[in-house]
Amino acid sequence: MSKKLGLNIGGRHFDVDVDDKFALFLEHQMRKDFNMDGGNDMKLLLQAYVRKNHELFIQEQMMKDLLKKIEN
């Protein structure tokens, strides 16, 4: 099953269909990053994108460090 999540950015409405298992997580994250009632501009979208990629970078670094510890 899938769930549709919507977001307004730059005066336009966008919907995405995501798996039900992922939908709750994504909706929670979107509420942290965006105003779900509207008023999101492109700058806010870019900031959220950079912030999430930074989180992924940190996680990857932590995984690499953990693998080094396991290998030794």
pLDDT tens for each residue of 22-44: 999 999 999 999 999 999 999 99
pLDDT at 72: 82
Global pTM? 0.80
Helix, strand, or coil (residue 16): strand
List phi, psi (to 5°) of 7: -150, 140
Helices (H), the chain: 20-33, 42-71
Q: Give the pLDDT of residue 1.
A: 87
Question: Computed over its alpha carbons, how large is the radius of gyration of the chain?
Answer: 16
